[in-house]
Amino acid sequence: MRAPVIVLSSVLVGLVACTANDPLYIQAPMTLEAGVSDPANMGMLTEAKVSLPLPIKTETAADKAKRDALAATLAPVLVPYVKVGDLELDVEWTITNLDNEPGQARIQLNGASEFFSYDPTMINLAPPDAEDPPKTPGLAGDIPINLPAMGSVSGLFTEDDLREASIDLDQVTRGNVNPFRASLTVSKSELSFQPLTAPVLDAQGEITQSPTGPEVPRKAFAEMIRIDLVFKPDHHMKLDFNVRVRDLRGIMHDLLLTANPAELQMFDPMPYAPMVGAAP
């Protein structure tokens, strides 16, 4: 599992828009707070989740014509509106320990492409009779971060982390690649991936998959269009974050989160929730 980079600098906020290489800053609409006892859940410590859709402009007729032309050459491979390489993303964060005792926190990063959303709690690829199977990994993070009492730690998921996460998300959801394999394989420079059949149990009780359909080339890799974070502290803490975007294709709305929703592309990704089936 890729760890977030921890730095000592403060989190940047605000909005800067110049050239494609100058980043835009999308401040999270809320502060996440968690790590307190939840009486409604047998006293378990609370976790906090947030989903932040990127404010991407409605696809123009010219862009759609280009996408349709590429799709015609790659059929039956689907070509997304937002592709890997259109945007470079990173996520800057600061965790503040609100407790007078030191503690640990984890930030798990997930997200969605325009085709599928990825939530590891909805993915169960263990055989039906497996005892205590490992939890499906997130796309990045989920590494313990130590915090002093009443102290703060800042860090980031880098552009490399988000590029890897986007490609892993596409491989897992469109390609049925095992999430454990995807999380342990460096794919940020891959030129294609081979979709697989849904996992099934063979006569020996082993999970099997087979290649199916044409490979998906890099020019059809789907970029993450929504960033999801899960905040899991073991003491009362808060998480502030913002998303930094280098808009290499010019598809982000100038007004970002204050844009008129009618001027934004509305995506409706399908939750990816496979289960191991029986062989036919």
- Alpha-carbon distances of 264 from 157, 158, 259, rounded to whole Å: 25, 26, 7
Mean pLDDT across 17-36: 84
Nearest to 261 by CA among 97, 53, 29, 9: 53
Residue 57's pLDDT is 97
Place of tokens 């989903």: 51
Which of 91, 89, 106, 69 shows the shortest CA–CA distance to 220? 69
pLDDT score at 132: 80
Q: Would you list the domain boundaries of the chain?
A: 5-126+135-278
HSE toward the beta carbon, residue 130, CA cutoff 13 A: 14
pLDDT digits over 69-98, tens only? 999 999 999 999 999 999 999 999 999 999
The pTM assigned to this predicted structure is 0.88
What is the pLDDT confidence band of residue 205, given thresholds at 50, 70 and 90? confident
Task: Round to the nearest angstrom and report the end-to-end CA distance of the chain.
Answer: 34
